[in-house]
Structure 1
Amino acid sequence: MRFALMTKDKPGALQTRLDNREAHLAYIADTDVVEMAGPVLDADGQMCGSLIVLEVDDLAAARAWADNDPYAKAGLFSDVTLKAWKKVIG
């Protein structure tokens, strides 16, 4: 199953994102369940959240992946949404 993980960073947390980016990218590579991912940008072009499409067995696995993301462990996010997602185009 695919799940869309959508996050919003806490205000003023760009440095937290930058400090944990290498670990976050390594986690993505190591877990091998991310189909696509990228940062959400604010009006100034700065990273302020994430959109990640996971391909995992179920919602529990998606939640576990999200909870163990180094960004989440660093307390980066003010909001996290996780929804089942169906790929239609692309």
Structure 2
Amino acid sequence: MLYVITCTDKAGSGDIRAANRTAHLAYLESFGDKIFAAGPTLTDDGSAMTGSVLIVDFDDSAAAQRFTTDDPYAKAGLFESVTIRPWRKVLPKS
């Protein structure tokens, strides 16, 4: 099942994001085709990252939660909030 994960960074945490970015990206890459899409959210002018949005494919919500909890960003305390919701792709049609 696909899940959309929305993470919001804590205010003023750009240094935490920068210090853990390499580990975060390696962590995501280790999941191969389980990652449907991933990327940062940005400020209105696009000059800074404010969080993350990921669409992932896991068997159940517990696996999606483990994935989120084990992310180096989460372990470093980057996120103010994290939501995980089941998601269905409708468009574009494959």
Task: Tell me which interval the TM-score lies in, with the shorter structure as reference length.
Answer: over 0.9
- Normalised by the length of structure 1, the TM-score is 0.96
Task: Give % identity.
Answer: 44
Map 1:1-80 → 2, pairs under 5 A: 1-32=1-32, 33-45=34-46, 46-80=48-82
Tell me, which stretches of 5 or more residues in structure 1 are unaligned? none
Q: Say how many residue pairs are matched.
A: 90
Q: Distance in 2 between matches of 1:88 and 1:8?
A: 25
When Rg is computed on C-alpha atoms for both structures, the one with the higher figure is 2
Task: Give runs of ≥4 in structure 1 deviating > 3 Å.
Answer: none
Tell me, which stretches of 5 or more residues in structure 2 are unaligned? none
Note the aligned Cα RMSD (angstroms): 0.8
The letter of the residue matching 2:4 is: A
